[in-house]
Amino acid sequence: MKSMQSNQSRKRPVNLTLNEELVSQAKGMTDNLSGVAEQLLTDFVMKQNSVRQEKARTAEVAAQAWYAFNERSGSFADDHSTL
């Protein structure tokens, strides 16, 4: 996936608590562990944003279907209201 951030983005140190053995193995596999972590985090954020957008679209479709039904049939509550 294409990176959300450009290489010119401001960077800052952060503290993470990670499995020591896993970090040791990962360091043996890359010269740029921060870059790998940043790319994985970027991919995660992009996927989560896609999931959220899809849920919002699904909710909007459901709401539009409900509004259309309500326009055609009226509100069920109106027929049974005691007010």
pLDDT, tens digit, for every residue of 10-51?
Answer: 999 999 999 999 999 999 999 999 999 999 999 999 999 999
Which residues, other chains included, contact 33 with Cβ-Cβ below 8 Å and sequence gap of 6+? 23, 26, 27
- Asked whether residue 80 is domain-assigned, the answer is no
Domain that holds residue 53: 20-75
- Asked whether residue 45 is domain-assigned, the answer is yes
Q: Is the pTM of this model over 0.85?
A: no
Has residue 72 got a pLDDT over 70? yes
Has residue 59 got a pLDDT over 50? yes
Cβ 30 vs Cβ 22: under 8 Å: no
Domains of the chain: total: 1
Residues 6, 19, 27: CA angle, nearest 5 degrees = 55
Which pLDDT belongs to residue 1? 47
Which pLDDT belongs to residue 2? 53
- Asked whether residue 15 is domain-assigned, the answer is no
CA-nearest of 34, 31, 44, 32 to 3 is: 44
Cβ 28 vs Cβ 34: under 8 Å: no
